């Protein structure tokens, strides 16, 4: 009797269904960004060259009080642009729109957004994954462009307030 039980137990153990475990390594997901990082960085450098040059001249002129004709001429040039009716659009395009384009193209080049609806043990939930590639040149260009925009917007706001007062 005892031997029979033992045999039954062994048969049960042998026929026991073991859960399958996938031993293959979890494949890494390919994260394709909307734009190419290197191409966006190359274009970004050219797009923010003019506002950087302008800000460099203005900072030298006002912050460090370098009253050189070189820096004064730059300021005169940009104020002169707004007086000419044919090219009055050039100053806002160069100083505001180009840094904005740089931010957009470089952000699209380093971020990957993935939205997924998941179900784990009857629990349904949505997941939004935002991945940022560490591409230093793109990040630097975004930061420089943000700085340019912040400086110009704060300048425009303070100028407006001082004129109203």
Partner 1 sequence: MEHRKDLSKVQINLNWFTRRGVFYWPVSIMGWFIMILAIAFAIYRFMAIDSQSHSVSDTLINFVFNLLLIGAAYAVIAYFTESKKNDHQ
* Residue of 10, 59, 66, 77 interacting with partner 1 (CB under 8 A): 77
Residue 55 near partner 1 by CB under 8 A: no
| C-alpha–C-alpha distance, residues 42 and 104, integer Å | 14
**Residue 66: DSSP 8-state:** -
Of 96, 105, 97, whose CA–CA distance to 137 is shortest? 105
**Helices H, strands E: what count in the chain?**
6, 2
Q: Which stretch binds partner 1 (CB under 8 A): 29-37, 58-66, 117-125, 149-157?
A: 29-37
Nearest-approach distance from CB 123 to partner 1, in angstroms = 34
Nearest-approach distance from CB 72 to partner 1, in angstroms = 8
| C-alpha–C-alpha distance, residues 81 and 96, integer Å | 15
| C-alpha–C-alpha distance, residues 131 and 110, integer Å | 8
Nearest-approach distance from CB 141 to partner 1, in angstroms = 11
Residue 152 near partner 1 by CB under 8 A: no
- Measured from the Cβ of residue 72, the count of other Cβ atoms closer than 10 Å reads 14
Residue 113 near partner 1 by CB under 8 A: no
Residues within the interface to partner 1 (CB under 8 A): 32-33, 36-39, 41-43, 45-47, 49-50, 53-54, 57, 68-70, 73-74, 77, 94, 98
């Amino acid at each position: 009797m005892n031997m029979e039980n033992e045999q039954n137990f062994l048969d049960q153990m042998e026929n026991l269904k073991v859960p399958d475990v996938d031993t293959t390594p979890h494949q890494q997901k390919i994260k394709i960004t909307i734009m190419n990082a290197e191409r966006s960085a190359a274009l970004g450098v050219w797009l923010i060259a003019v506002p950087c040059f302008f800000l460099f001249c203005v900072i030298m002129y006002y912050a460090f009080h370098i009253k050189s004709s070189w820096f004064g001429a730059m300021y005169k040039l940009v104020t002169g642009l707004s007086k000419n009716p044919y090219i009055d659009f050039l100053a806002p395009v160069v100083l505001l729109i180009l840094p904005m384009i740089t931010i957009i193209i470089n952000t699209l080049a380093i971020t990957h957004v993935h939205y997924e609806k998941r179900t784990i043990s009857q629990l349904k939930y949505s997941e939004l994954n935002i991945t940022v590639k560490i591409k230093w040149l793109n990040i630097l260009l975004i930061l420089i462009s943000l700085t340019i925009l912040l400086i110009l917007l704060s300048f425009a706001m303070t100028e407006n307030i001082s004129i109203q007062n």
